[in-house]
């Protein structure tokens, strides 16, 4: 079996990482994101050793039972999580590319205002998981990639969103803005992902919108300090 861990796929047998969980290794230590409860966490020293043994296929059944009890692993044969596409390392940022595009109009401003406001309400009422499931379903990812002549359209649309966002009277927040931008772009059949990344010491989390290897709403140097933990 294959375990979806966010930044990579790991071969496992019998047990899967719980559907709501993703993890990545930062400085050799696993950091987890629990989508079901909107939280990040680490394991205690003993549980971390057990989990790392499991990753290396060297975990005893009694120890695996502890991971199942803690809802880190599940032995369900059917999984609800869809296969994840690999995360490409970012190589460029739309913010650092020249773009001769006029400022957005009233229609775009109204759309961005509604999208940001509604996304903010969703995050407060149904959390990250519910917001993603209702607004960024897998079938919404069908559309054009950011290559060739399409890249100009993608850059123009991203610029429209960013310019309009400056005029929306809602405080900026990476998660809110990234989810809202992804909805805005996918509404135009543009293929993008929201990437969540973390750092270890000190711990911090961040997210951004990415199309292929191009970051759309952040500087390249800023996102590169984070280890990807999940694609939303």
Which of 198, 196, 180 has the alpha carbon at shortest distance from 136?
A: 180
208 close to 218: Cβ distance less than 8 angstroms = yes
Q: How far apart are CA 38 and CA 54, in angstroms?
A: 25
Q: How far apart are CA 95 and CA 163, in angstroms?
A: 12
Q: For 178-219, how does the pLDDT look when each residue is reduced to its tens digit (9 = 90+)?
A: 999 999 999 999 989 999 999 998 899 999 999 999 999 999
- The region of weakest confidence among 6-10, 38-42, 110-114 is 6-10
pLDDT class for 21, splitting at 50, 70, 90? very high
Q: What is the pTM of this model?
A: 0.85
pLDDT class for 83, splitting at 50, 70, 90? low
Q: Residue 216: how many CB atoms within 10 A of its CB?
A: 26
pLDDT class for 8, splitting at 50, 70, 90? very low
- Tell me what the mean pLDDT of segment 50-60 comes to: 90
pLDDT over threshold 70, residue 79: no
- Tell me what the mean pLDDT of segment 49-64 comes to: 90
* Unique residue bearing structure tokens 């952040």: 218
């Amino acid at each position: 079996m294959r375990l979806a861990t966010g930044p990579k796929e790991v071969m496992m047998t019998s047990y899967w990482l719980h559907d709501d969980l993703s993890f990545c290794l930062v400085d050799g230590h696993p950091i987890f994101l629990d989508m079901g409860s909107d939280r990040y966490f680490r394991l205690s020293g003993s549980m971390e050793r057990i989990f790392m043994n499991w990753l290396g296929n060297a975990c005893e059944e009694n120890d695996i039972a502890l991971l199942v009890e803690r809802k880190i692993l599940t032995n369900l044969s059917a999984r609800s999580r869809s296969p994840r596409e690999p995360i490409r390392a970012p190589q460029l940022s739309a913010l650092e590319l020249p773009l001769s595009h006029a400022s957005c109009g009233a229609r775009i401003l109204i759309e961005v205002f509604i999208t940001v406001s509604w996304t903010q309400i969703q995050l407060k009422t149904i959390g990250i998981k519910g917001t993603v499931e209702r607004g960024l379903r897998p079938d919404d990812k069908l559309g054009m990639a950011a290559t060739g002549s399409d890249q100009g359209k993608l850059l123009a649309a991203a610029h429209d969103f960013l310019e309009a966002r400056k005029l929306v009277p809602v405080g900026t927040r990476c998660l809110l803005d990234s989810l809202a931008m992804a909805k805005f772009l996918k509404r135009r059949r543009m293929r993008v992902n929201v990437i969540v990344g973390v750092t270890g010491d000190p711990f911090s989390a961040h997210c951004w919108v990415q199309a292929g290897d191009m970051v759309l709403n952040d500087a390249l140097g800023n996102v590169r300090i984070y280890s990807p933990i999940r694609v939303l």
